[in-house]
Chains A and B, each alone.
Chain A
Amino acid sequence: QSALTQPASVSGSPGQSITISCTGTSSDVGGYNLVSWYQQHPGKAPKLMIYEGTKRPSGVSNRFSASKSGNTASLTISGLQAEDEADYYCCSYATGSGVDVLFGGGTKVTVL
């Protein structure tokens, strides 16, 4: 299976809201409620921000929210802060050639 499609970059000013899209197919994003989102700062390990489509782990700010429409999942960051500047990856359960887990190509979020 191919990787999920994300925009290479998204930017916004402090306090604004931004949305990152993650497009797949009916065999992955559209077929299951098993999309997760990860934040990764340079040189660091990824951090789970959203799991099972819309759930936030304990300790993750409620400024992070997620949704899905058809084959496209989205992550919204509201009240953008300087610390949100990082790479973001979507991840989805997939079927096709057996069970698979697909990551998106990543989106660089820049806080202007």
Chain B
Amino acid sequence: QITLKESGPTLVKPTQTLTLTCTFSGFSFSSTGVGVGWIRQPPGKALEWLALIYWDDDKRYSPSLKSRLTITKDTSKDQVVLTMTNMDPIDTATYYCAHSPNFGETEYDSWGQGILVTVSS
């Protein structure tokens, strides 16, 4: 059974850097094609894809947010970390991490519960 869980601060100030950690179990990055992505959802609004990291350390970023995002993985800890710089109140959202099973940027078959991050001074 695959499980993922997001952790990190729930409140950040404008201009600060957000660091979120996704801790997972039930799969590993030793499997070819596996990836972990980040998707966010502002309150009452639609989903927005942020980034994806593959088993071979290949990385994909949303072009509109690429300059602010960094995604990394720690295979020894079964974790993926997303950092987002220069946070703004419009970045207030629930941030989800999700498992991508097979080379699929659009296929996320297991999701974490999400973490609501509020950006406010």
Q: Report yes or no: B46 in contact with A106, Cβ–Cβ below 8 A.
A: yes
Interface readout for A1-29 with B: 1 if CB under 8 Å, 0 if not? 10100000000000000000000000000
- Given the interface pairs A45-B111, A97-B63, the reply to whether A52 lies near B104 with Cβ below 8 Å is yes
Restricting to A89-108, which residues have a CB under 8 Å from any CB of B? 89, 91-93, 96-106
- Total B residues in contact with A, Cβ cutoff 8 Å: 23
B106 close to chain A: CB less than 8 A:
yes
Q: Which residues of B are at the interface with A, using a C-beta cutoff of 8 A?
A: 39, 46-49, 52, 60-64, 66, 96, 104-109, 111-114
Chain A residues within 8 Å of chain B by Cβ, number: 28
A-side interface mostly: strand
How far is it, in angstroms, between the C-alpha of A44 and the C-alpha of B96 when the chains are bound?
11
Q: Which residues of A contact B (CB under 8 A)?
A: 1, 3, 34-36, 38, 45-48, 51-52, 57, 89, 91-93, 96-106
* Known contacts A35-B106, A92-B106, A101-B106; A45 and B49 CB within 8 A of each other: no
CB contacts (< 8 Å) of B48 on chain A: these are: 103
Q: B47–A46 contact, CB under 8 A?
A: yes
Once the chains bind, are B106 and A34 in contact (CB under 8 Å)? yes
16 further interface pairs, Cβ-Cβ under 8 Å (given A36-B108, A46-B111, A99-B60): A34-B106, A36-B107, A38-B47, A45-B113, A45-B114, A46-B39, A46-B47, A46-B108, A51-B107, A57-B109, A91-B47, A98-B61, A101-B49, A101-B106, A102-B49, A103-B47
- A104 lies within 8 A of B107 (CB): no
> Is the CB–CB distance between A99 and B105 below 8 Å?
yes
**A93 near B105: Cβ-Cβ < 8 Å:** yes
Whether B106 and A3, one on each chain, are in contact in the complex, defined by CB atoms closer than 8 angstroms, is no
Cross-chain contact A36 with B46 (CB below 8 angstroms): no
